[in-house]
Chain A
Amino acid sequence: MLISLFVTCYNDTLFPNTGKAVVRVLERLGHTVEFREAQTCCGQMHYNTGYQRDAYALMLHFMKAFGNAKVICVPSSSCVAMIRDHFPKMAARARDIELSRQVSELIPRVFEFTELLCDELHVTDVGAYFPHAVTYHPSCHGLRSLNLADKPLQLLRHVEGLSLVELGNADQCCGFGGTFSIKNPEVSAAMLADKARCVLNTGAEVCTATDNSCLMQIGGSLSRQKAGMRCLHIAEILAAEARDVP
């Protein structure tokens, strides 16, 4: 299958290894990945902060870049939620019938990475090897907007050598919330303190999630505390192979 990767603006800039990992996993499963270089951003940051005109412009750019892609893979559940929940609204608000049609045709072809694996490619064992104790934090958009349920956990359970440790109070928000962490940094830090405590209590070595935004927040605290635990996007765990181990 030809799969078009929407790596997302923040993964492109800050977490390129996540994009590389997605490519590795999909190629390992025998698929071809394309990366349309015109892509930039889904507009979520602007949209959520109230700059909906700017988000609209970014949506148009996205539609131009991806309009005819058959399958789009996105390693970020919040970006998928943005596309699924808000692209139709922006198109409707603009009263652009043609755009609304294009958007409604595109949406069924957009998948978060774990959704793509489980629901479209029907695979839960991607042939990964990652001999570490791992705990999984469900990102809010993945949990509540995309209803990912236990797809990420199914994938993790099939990783050879991986021992999964359950995260306490897992459904509590990590406190990132995009610009929320900038506009309300103290409250964001307070929420993060609770989350980091639960993450550390698992005794796991690695904390994973479907979104690097959450992992940047959680990892930022773990690093500041020198807590001896790291964060890793689920794609990078699924990409890990025996030959990677030194």
Chain B
Amino acid sequence: MSIRVGEAAEAASFPSAARALLANTQLRHNVRHATDVIRAKRAAVVGELPDWQELRASAHAIKRHTLGHLDYYLEQFEAACTRSGGQVHWACDADEANEIIINIIRSHQEKEVIKVKTMTSDETRLNAALEAAGITPYETDLADLIIQLGRDRPSHIVVPALHRNRMEIRQIFLERMGLRELGNGPEDLTNAARRYLREKFLRVKVGISGANFAIAETGSICVVESEGNGRMCISLPRVLITLVGIEKVIPRFSDLEVFLQLLPRSATGERMNPYNSIWNGVAQGDGPEEFHVVLLDNGRTQVLADSESRDTLDCIRCGACLNACPVYRQTGGHAYGSIYAGPIGAILTPQLQDMQHSASLPYASSLCGACYEVCPVKINIPEILIHLRGRVVENGDSALSERVAMKGARFALSTASHLSSFQALARMAQRAFLRNGVIRSLPGLLAGWSETRDLPPIPKESFRDWWAKRNDGARAK
């Protein structure tokens, strides 16, 4: 069984990755600027809709309902897709999905594919598998192109190259597209990308896409995009392969009326993104002659199994939680060591891997709740983070020093007399750390605090001491 979330299993823990990234001032500036801009845009277009909360409630309910009957809807999708001329494959894990896709391409003796952005293929590490099989994948999303050419990693679900500014992108294009010169305006960059990719769009015979939504009723796939590369990849090649996580299913075509309002406003702060493509099966004289859908599990049924965190699968990959997160704002996406970063990444990544890896991610949050506020499908991310922290502890994956400290704290808090004793003890112990009425440095687990913060001294008299004295005084009167 090879369930994979990109390279998350090998990634450094969040605290250590974050520590290193915090020193990168260019990155932090880029991330801050980008998330500020998109947060403001989102707020503006969301503010225009008087029924935003009603849309969120419906979306949440639709997703919950679908997951509650997922077996039925997947089979309904398969039947409808097959009826319209598509071929449906099922893949339990990453390797199976990659193998199915490679076999389809091999059966046509093709050596090149054009790809629309699909994070699901990053999960399975499809590109590496294709290259190993002698097939060259061309990423056609501008950001994914920037990442591919820059030999980099994505740092955001919607805007993967958010950590790069214009100058850095220009440098990457100059070097890797073999250009002699390149202007530094944004349109110079998009023109370069357009020229570089156009000949591939018109020539390459196999396209690979993901799906934002898979509609059970009609067997349709819906791809939401801005640049037009999606339209190119799904309508120009002779063979189209669409890789879809099983949680992307929605029951009916009409349910799109909810999601097509929530997704563009949440993801890019627009009333509607430039292009949506919807198709089912094969159409005579228009587009691919052969269409394959690969339905992917790769750990999703594991997430489904935990009813307290199952809502994680409601996610429509809008990225709004990343933009709202004050932690993401400081570190950017690479700190999470996963293609799924930010709040959703912190709950999805470890769960897909059955909590075997990425156990530091549920702790990469101050539980401020900003993510839940903006999530268009109302995933209660803070709640799920806490639940997953519980699973980490139950699995025995927390540090011994932490377990000891928490046991000690529970003992101290278990009765009033324990608490009083603990307060007296702490007052005595602090004398070693008090300098001029302030605690400047702390030992052990607490050292991180005092690196950048003072701590006030523990007062000589606790509240309960004061109350007891006051009462005695009152009684004496």
Q: Which residues of B contact A13 (CB under 8 A)?
A: 419, 422-423, 426, 458, 462
Is B428 an interface residue when CB atoms closer than 8 A count as contact?
no
Is A220 an interface residue when CB atoms closer than 8 A count as contact?
yes
Number of residues in B with C-beta < 8 Å to the partner?
67
Q: How far is the CB of B12 from chain A (nearest CB, A)?
A: 13
In the bound complex, how far is the Cα of B380 from the Cα of A85, in angstroms? 12
Do residues B426 and A48 form an inter-chain contact, with CB atoms below 8 A?
no
In the bound complex, how far is the Cα of B372 from the Cα of A143, in angstroms? 13
Is B196 an interface residue when CB atoms closer than 8 A count as contact?
no
Interface locus among A31-39, A95-103, A111-119, A150-158 = A31-39
Contacts known (A46-B406, A173-B366, A173-B368); A58 close to B416, Cβ less than 8 A? no
In the bound complex, how far is the Cα of B449 from the Cα of A192, in angstroms? 11
In the bound complex, how far is the Cα of B453 from the Cα of A217, in angstroms? 7
In the bound complex, how far is the Cα of B465 from the Cα of A20, in angstroms? 11
Interface locus among B134-142, B167-175, B390-398 = B390-398
Is A69 an interface residue when CB atoms closer than 8 A count as contact?
no
Number of residues in A with C-beta < 8 Å to the partner?
65
Q: Which residues of A contact B367 (CB under 8 A)?
A: 48, 140, 177-178, 180
Interface residues of B in 372-417 (CB under 8 A from A): 372-373, 383, 386, 388-394, 398, 402, 406-407, 409-410, 413-416
Contacts known (A9-B419, A50-B398); A187 close to B409, Cβ less than 8 A? no
Is A184 an interface residue when CB atoms closer than 8 A count as contact?
yes
Interface locus among B13-21, B111-119, B218-226, B275-283 = B13-21
Is B71 an interface residue when CB atoms closer than 8 A count as contact?
no
Q: Which residues of A contact B366 (CB under 8 A)?
A: 140, 173, 175-178, 180-181, 188, 191
Contacts known (A16-B459, A184-B14); A173 close to B326, Cβ less than 8 A? yes
Q: How far is the CB of B251 from chain A (nearest CB, A)?
A: 29
Select one of B326, B386, B391 contacting A191, CB under 8 A: B326
Interface residues of A in 52-78 (CB under 8 A from B): 52, 54, 57-58, 61
Do residues A182 and B448 form an inter-chain contact, with CB atoms below 8 A?
yes
Q: How far is the CB of A188 from chain B (nearest CB, A)?
A: 7
Residues of A within 8 A of B (CB): 7, 9, 11-17, 19-20, 35, 37-41, 43, 45-52, 54, 57-58, 61, 85, 140-141, 143-145, 171-173, 175-192, 194, 216-217, 219-221, 223-224
Known: A58-B414, A140-B367, A191-B366. 5 other contacts (CB 8 A): A16-B466, A37-B467, A46-B409, A191-B326, A217-B453
Residues of B within 8 A of A (CB): 14-15, 18-19, 22, 326-327, 329-331, 362-370, 372-373, 383, 386, 388-394, 398, 402, 406-407, 409-410, 413-416, 418-419, 422-423, 426, 438, 445-449, 451-456, 458-459, 461-468
20 contacts between A and B (CB under 8 A): A40-B415, A48-B386, A49-B389, A49-B393, A49-B406, A50-B362, A51-B393, A58-B414, A173-B368, A177-B368, A178-B367, A184-B327, A185-B451, A185-B452, A186-B18, A187-B15, A187-B22, A189-B452, A194-B326, A220-B453
